[in-house]
Chains A and B, each alone.
Chain A
Amino acid sequence: MKKQFAVLSVLIIFVLSIPVYAGVPMTTAEASVNRVLDVLRDAKLKSPAAKEIKKEKLRIIYKDMFDEIEFSKRTLTRNWNKFSPAERVEFVKLFEQILEKSYIDKILDYSNEKVDFYKESMLSDNQAEIQTKIITSSKEIPIFYRMILKDSKWKVYDVVVENVSLVQNYRTQFNDILGKNTPEQLLEILRKKVKAQ
């Protein structure tokens, strides 16, 4: 009786642990990237006039792919608590706009490149790093996606391009700025940047 109970409990634990592996990070990232590539290669959207449609389609994909709040928190670290809730909302929004505007044209330039997903490292139960490389005609660019499991969905919170972590890079910049300025002043810098772009 005891033995059977043990077997049953093991079975229950085993069965209940399946959902964790249901949204494997690599498949999630790969699916999102493939959706991006599909939009970029779409023959119907080749004309310059379709650029806005492309952008809109890409926006939907990366909203689904990235965890912009986690990204913002990790760049601000302890400074996050110095922002008021309203300032936080604005910060996340402005930061997202800056990233979108600076990288969208670069992304729209891609089309013939191959993306190779070659490694997944689980670093804890809810964190993973997916290693990929973009293969262009003249070079290979290593891009790693760091992902976190939230509400049973894997989302990207950091992108490491050629060994340079974006979160780390912005963390250094924001630390430098917030060492001399208030959160409101940082927001003002970001607002100006969004307008100038």
Chain B
Amino acid sequence: MRIGYMKTYLTLIVLFIFLAVGCAHSPSTSSTVLPQAKSSPQPILLASNAGEIPVKSSSKPGDAIDDEYKDDQNLDYANDTFNEEKVEIADPLEPFNRAMHQFNDKLYFWALKPVAQGYKKVVPEPARISVKNFFSNLGFPNRFLSCLLQTDFSGAATEFGRFTINTIWGIGGLLDPSSNKELDLQKQDTDMGQTLGVYGVGQGFYIVWPVLGPSSPRDSIDIVSEYFLYPVSYIYPLYAWLGVRGYQEVNDTSLRIGDYEALKDAAIDPYVAFRDAYIQYRLKKVKARKAKLAPSKPQEVNSLTDDPVLLKKEN
């Protein structure tokens, strides 16, 4: 009798393994079938003109894709794991900001970009990267002090090590030997605006400065500290300082021509798009700094990168 039971179990188990194998394969087969099924309404969509509404695709009853166009009651995404706190900022100066946004846009397309393009043609990329490294190395005091003020001593030590190594072995900062795999001293991407953010100071409202671009009252402190802590600022006379700063800007721009254009092209309202991008970017930088300072509670500050499901299970 017992052996008989065992046999039934064995066949059952074997059957289930077969079933499971079948199941495990089904996604891959459906993945090849799905795009085909999907692509059938797509050409219709693409072929029709922009103004025309392709009602033809809805004539297919029971189509899973059409179901997705129905009303949806779960559109808040409030319980969504990726839903971060609302990233919005007051914008009382909108008319002024929009004008400045327009001004900076013209400055980029009429002055900065053409100059950077010409410069890019003459100077090879490795040389331009070295120039960028050189100026970045000079930005050490601001990053170092920011780390110290955030009580991020390991960050401060990293910055100090980088500055020493890159200045001596990196030919005055032209090369960046400290970020290679052996030393692995990465640049601490921080500033005074983030420092205030780490201590809980909010952005306040949005400002677009002429030439300098998106900012806020909080982040504007960085414009001040960057001025005083940046060695280039002490170049005398004024036109020499402006020349060097301008050159740095042209060099940096030459390495990222096309980024601004792509972002602007993709935006429906570029002003709002850049405002949102700036706020998201700064918010996550501050979050990352906070996470670095409080590694003991990663689930609180770093919920995005950690697995909340796993954490819950562990508790």
- Which listed residue (B265, B281, B305) contacts A102, Cβ 8 A? B265
* CB <8 Å contact, A101 and B265: yes
Chain B residues touching A, majority SS: helix
Interface residues on B, range: 35 or more
Q: Which residues of B (184-240) have their CB < 8 Å from a CB of A?
A: none
* CB <8 Å contact, B34 and A8: no
Distance of A115 from chain B, by nearest CB (Å)? 18
Instruction: Give per-residue flags for B17-38: 1 if the beta carbon is below 8 A from chain A beta carbons, else 0.
Output: 1011001111110110011001
**Would A86 and B25 be within 8 Å (CB), given that A69-B65, A163-B280 are in contact?**
no
CA A4 to CA B8, docked complex, whole Å: 12
Does B306 count as interface, using CB distance less than 8 angstroms?
A: yes
Binds B, one of A37-45, A47-55, A172-180: A172-180
* CB <8 Å contact, B30 and A151: yes
Binds A, one of B66-74, B102-110, B147-155, B242-250: B66-74
* CB <8 Å contact, A88 and B129: no
Distance of B239 from chain A, by nearest CB (Å)? 29
Report chain B residues within 8 Å CB of A89: 45, 53-55, 57-58, 69
CA A67 to CA B125, docked complex, whole Å: 37
Does A80 count as interface, using CB distance less than 8 angstroms?
A: yes
Distance of A46 from chain B, by nearest CB (Å)? 20
**Which residue of B is nearest A97, CB measured?**
B50
CA A63 to CA B308, docked complex, whole Å: 30
Instruction: Give per-residue flags for B145-184: 1 if the beta carbon is below 8 A from chain A beta carbons, else 0.
Output: 0000000000000000000000000000000000000000
Q: Which residues of A (102-154) have their CB < 8 Å from a CB of B?
A: 102-103, 105-106, 109, 119, 121-124, 127, 129, 131, 137-139, 146, 151-153
CA A35 to CA B125, docked complex, whole Å: 28
Report chain B residues within 8 Å CB of A152: 26-27, 30
CA A16 to CA B5, docked complex, whole Å: 23
* CB <8 Å contact, A173 and B281: no
* CB <8 Å contact, B269 and A15: no
**Which residue of B is nearest A193, CB measured?**
B268
* CB <8 Å contact, B129 and A177: no
**Would A15 and B72 be within 8 Å (CB), given that A152-B26, A164-B280 are in contact?**
no
Instruction: Give per-residue flags for A154-168: 1 if the beta carbon is below 8 A from chain B beta carbons, else 0.
Output: 000010001111001
Please, how many residues of chain A have a CB less than 8 angstroms from a CB on the other chain?
75
CA A182 to CA B306, docked complex, whole Å: 40
Instruction: Give per-residue flags for B272-287: 1 if the beta carbon is below 8 A from chain A beta carbons, else 0.
Output: 1101110011001100
* CB <8 Å contact, A177 and B269: yes
Report chain B residues within 8 Å CB of A146: 82
Most buried by A among B27, B75, B129: B27
Does A34 count as interface, using CB distance less than 8 angstroms?
A: no
**Would A80 and B268 be within 8 Å (CB), given that A123-B309, A153-B34 are in contact?**
no
CA A77 to CA B72, docked complex, whole Å: 9
* CB <8 Å contact, A153 and B69: no
Q: Which residues of B (52-100) have their CB < 8 Å from a CB of A?
A: 53-55, 57-58, 64-65, 68-72, 75-77, 80-82, 84, 87-88
| A interface residues (Cβ-Cβ under 8 A, vs B) | 4, 8, 11-12, 15-16, 18-19, 22-23, 60, 63-64, 69-70, 73-74, 76-78, 80-81, 85-90, 92-94, 97-99, 101-103, 105-106, 109, 119, 121-124, 127, 129, 131, 137-139, 146, 151-153, 158, 162-165, 168-170, 172-174, 176-177, 189-191, 193-195, 197
The 7 closest A-B pairs by CB, nearest first: A102-B266, A123-B81, A102-B265, A163-B284, A19-B23, A172-B276, A152-B27
| B interface residues (Cβ-Cβ under 8 A, vs A) | 5, 9, 12-13, 16-17, 19-20, 23-28, 30-31, 34-35, 38-39, 42, 45, 50-51, 53-55, 57-58, 64-65, 68-72, 75-77, 80-82, 84, 87-88, 125-126, 128-129, 132, 255, 258, 262, 265-269, 272-273, 275-277, 280-281, 284-285, 304-309
| 12 more CB-based (< 8 A) A-B contacts, given A89-B55, A127-B81 | A4-B5, A4-B9, A63-B35, A64-B35, A74-B77, A99-B266, A121-B306, A121-B307, A122-B309, A129-B305, A176-B272, A195-B50
